[in-house]
Chains A and B, each alone.
Chain A
Amino acid sequence: EDQVTQSPEALRLQEGESSSLNCSYTVSGLRGLFWYRQDPGKGPEFLFTLYSAGEEKEKERLKATLTKKESFLHITAPKPEDSATYLCAGGGYSTLTFGKGTMLLVSP
């Protein structure tokens, strides 16, 4: 059975304090590793897709990386507006398997 595990469940950072979120996965026939951002009361918003180990993608203060077993979302010098739940998902043969998310709170 496909599994995606995210850690930590919650993370509190001071503005400017860089950190990383972890996503470990076991997905048969992985076609892509996806990162989404979800704000309270809204649907998940697509951030990145990573397709192969060693691949990296960046968007503003976020950088996603992928190994054969894990993906990391690095947040550099976060701002309060980066506060959200970050979801990781493995794309298998038929759909995406989501992790439970990491709730990030960035304090000014």
Chain B
Amino acid sequence: DTAVSQTPKYLVTQMGNDKSIKCEQNLGHDTMYWYKQDSKKFLKIMFSYNNKELIINETVPNRFSPKSPDKAHLNLHINSLELGDSAVYFCASSWGVGETQYFGPGTRLLVL
């Protein structure tokens, strides 16, 4: 059973396109996150949702919009993709804020 799953695993697209990444967790956790891992492997928080409410919104361009339809899902929509958006995006979940987080397998986004 996959605890935190993401789709798609790979995403190759052209500059200017709009794309979405989906995340689902079956751990019953209340809090979900999106991270960006750049080419230097640095993992940085983008957004955090607790019980479907946004609690963290780091300095991320407005082109990125998270949506949480329910506690088990947190999707990431990206408008007008730019070259610099190329990275690996990880979803994670935890029981509460600041507690142990469990990560998905990542979505590798390449913008051409």
- B53-92 residues with Cβ-Cβ distance < 8 A to A are 55-56, 90, 92
Contact with A along B22-58 (1 / 0, CB 8 A): 0000000000010000001111110010000001100
Count how many chain A residues have C-beta atoms less than 8 Å from C-beta atoms of the other chain.
Answer: 24
Name A91's closest neighbour in chain B (CB-CB). B98
Chain A residues whose C-beta falls within 8 Å of the C-beta of B97 in the assembled complex: 93-95
Chain A residues whose C-beta falls within 8 Å of the C-beta of B104 in the assembled complex: 43
C-alpha gap A44/B105 in the complex (Å): 8
Contact B48 A94, beta carbon cutoff 8 Å: yes
In this complex, the member of A49, A93, A94 whose beta carbon has the largest number of chain B beta carbons within 10 angstroms is A94
Among B42, B43, B56, B105, contact of A94 (Cβ-Cβ < 8 Å) = B56
Q: A87 at the A/B interface (Cβ < 8 Å)?
A: yes
Contact A32 B100, beta carbon cutoff 8 Å: yes
C-alpha gap A32/B58 in the complex (Å): 21
Q: B1 at the A/B interface (Cβ < 8 Å)?
A: no
User: With contacts A43-B104, A43-B105, A43-B106 known, is A91 near B45, CB below 8 A?
Assistant: no
C-alpha gap A46/B92 in the complex (Å): 11
Binding site for B on A (CB under 8 A): 31-32, 34, 36, 38, 41-46, 49, 85, 87, 91-98, 100-101
Q: List 30 A-B contacts (CB under 8 A).
A: A31-B99, A32-B100, A36-B103, A38-B41, A42-B105, A43-B90, A43-B103, A43-B104, A43-B106, A45-B103, A46-B101, A46-B102, A49-B100, A85-B41, A87-B43, A91-B98, A93-B97, A93-B98, A94-B48, A94-B55, A94-B97, A94-B98, A95-B33, A95-B48, A95-B56, A95-B97, A96-B98, A96-B101, A97-B45, A100-B41
